[in-house]
Every structure is written in C-alpha cells, then in structure tokens.
Structure 1
C-alpha cells in the first residue's frame, strides 16, 4: 500500500503529537526537579550560615567563660595571699606578747562568756554552712559591758 500525503500526514501527527507531549511533560518534570534541588541547596546554605553563627556565638561565650575563670583564679590567689599574710601578722603579734598573756587571770564572768562562745561555735560548726549561727543567751551583751 502506497503512502499518500494524507497517510503520511496522519502518521506524522500520530507519532509527532504524542512525542511532543511526552517531551513537554518530561521537560516539565525535569524543570520541576531542578527547581526543587535549587531550593534545597538554598535552604542548606542558610542552615550552614545559621550553624556558623551559632558556633561563633559559642566561641565568644567560651572566651568569656575562660576570662571569668582566669579572673576568679587571680582573685582567689590574691585572697589566699592576703589570708596567709594576716595569719602571719597574727602569729607575730601573739608571739610578741605571749609572756604577758601567760600570767593573765580572767574573771569568772569572762570565762563563762568564753565557754558560751565556744559552745555556740561548736554548734555552728556542727550545723554546717546552711545551719546558721546559734544566738547567744539573753542579756549576754549587757553582761559583757556592751
């Protein structure tokens, strides 16, 4: 059977139209896929920028913590040096007049106040830091002449 112009035109239309439609659909899907990948890439870039900002802020916080720690160590060392110096001064002062204190006699009232103070100190030490300080007996301040 010979091909006529009409038959050839029909065959071209029957083959060409679905081919073009399939090509257009394929192109549409490819373009959509490329757009999604581009969007995911932009989102990934933003996430990386956000994470870098978080890392930078944490680096700053770590630096601040290290500086505060160094300042605290310095203050503690200064405090320890001052405590050691005051302890030595107190030792020297006590040693310089030890002979005079050896012959001192204390009154019964002073001895009673010292005993009460010792008992309060022992109670405070047994109670720990959160235990608070025990109070002295009523009127103790008047008896000591204050």
Structure 2
C-alpha cells in the first residue's frame, strides 16, 4: 500500500464555462446524468475559446437554447469541489429542449424550492441577489444592467 499523498489532494480543477440564466426571479438549473442534484448549466472549456463562448456553446448543445444577450460576469466566478467556474449571464426567451444524452431534466429554481441543488448554487444565488441581478433579465430589461 502506498504511503504517498492521498489521491486528488493536489489535483487541478477542471475549468468550466458556466451559465447563469434568470427568468422572473428564478435560476435555470439542470440535472446531469452523472449527478443526483441540480446544478448550473455549462461545460468544459476548449483551449483558446473565450469563456462566454464556452457557456454559449454548452447551452446550445445541452439545452438547444439560442441566446439573445450575453455578458461575462467575472465577479460571479467561483470554485466548487471539482471545477473552476467562469460565469456568464445569458438571456433567452426560449424554454430549454433537453439533450437527453447529457441532461435528465431542468428546473426554474428559487431558494424556496425543495429541489436538491449543488452546494455552490445557494451561495451563487446570494451573490446574484447582492449584485442586484436577480431580476435583471425579466421583461427584456437585461440591457439596462449592461447585458450585451
């Protein structure tokens, strides 16, 4: 038996383009095939790809969503157990169409919901509220908050 450093203690976190999609004060979350809880949509970053493009690509692949506005939000970037999340705020008028190869389902989540979420989601929600972004994308007013 090896007496070395325990597995994973110094393992690099994967970089991930993560999307925050808000509608009527609720946050879009997905349940991936590999997880038992809901988390933010997004996925793996390709070398040289702008972070916002990673989030946009993953949203199209996983949820078949076309985005009408997008903004990279450096202030909402965060670390979770396995990932380094680079967050973008995305605005869409569409309902997701789940790619069942990757995603089981989705939910428009609010903190009062009983849905089981990833631990980092509640913390991010508090940061969204503190930044005044919770209602920024309701009724098309994303532009007023600096969304592109």
Bigger radius of gyration among the two: 1
TM exceeding 0.5: no
Task: Give the helix-richer structure, 1 or 2.
Answer: 1
Please, what TM-score do these two structures have when normalized by structure 2?
Answer: 0.15
Please, what TM-score do these two structures have when normalized by structure 1?
Answer: 0.15
Task: Give the strand-richer structure, 1 or 2.
Answer: 2
